[in-house]
Amino acid sequence: MRVLIVDDVQQNCRVMKALLAKHGECDIAATGRDAVTAFQEAWKAGNPYQLICLDIMLPDLDGIKVLAVLRKMEEAMNVEKDKRVCVIMVTSLDDSEYKMKSYDLGISGYLTKPIFSNALTECLKRAKLIE
């Protein structure tokens, strides 16, 4: 599995990478714009991400806007809905409005920081990324 971790806090990235490294290759983006660029480059290279762990609070584009851009890009590339990248929101915001917006844009999970291994594993199982 190819994973993109998007968070502007290096410690959060290290934790997520440690939790996800056993499942595949992990790349990191610190801003929303970097995430969009990484997503585009992965598609152009023919090696797209299967999972994006996306923080909501980012210094440029927030996670909701990033997710909306990614979904529009997938639509423009004619990616079928069941083939779209799996996105898990990983955030300190336990806010119902953000959750609703995220699920409306097709996320597979919403995890509130701090992230624990068992919660992440369950989320990956529900998304059918691991068994």
What is the pTM (predicted TM-score) of this model? 0.94
Asked, for residue 129, whether it belongs to a domain, the answer is: no
Tell me the residue range of the domain where 69 lies. Answer: 2-123
Instruction: Specify the number of domains making up the chain.
Output: 1
What are 20-66's pLDDT values in tens digits? 999 999 999 999 999 999 999 999 999 999 999 999 999 899 999 99
**Does residue 130 fall inside a structural domain?**
no
Q: Is residue 77 part of a domain?
A: yes
Instruction: State the pLDDT at residue 95.
Output: 83
CA distances from 30 to 21, 55, 96 (A): 18, 10, 25
Question: Taking 90 as the threshold, does the pLDDT of residue 85 lie above it?
Answer: yes
CATH of the domain at 24: 3.40.50.2300
Q: What is the pLDDT of residue 93?
A: 82
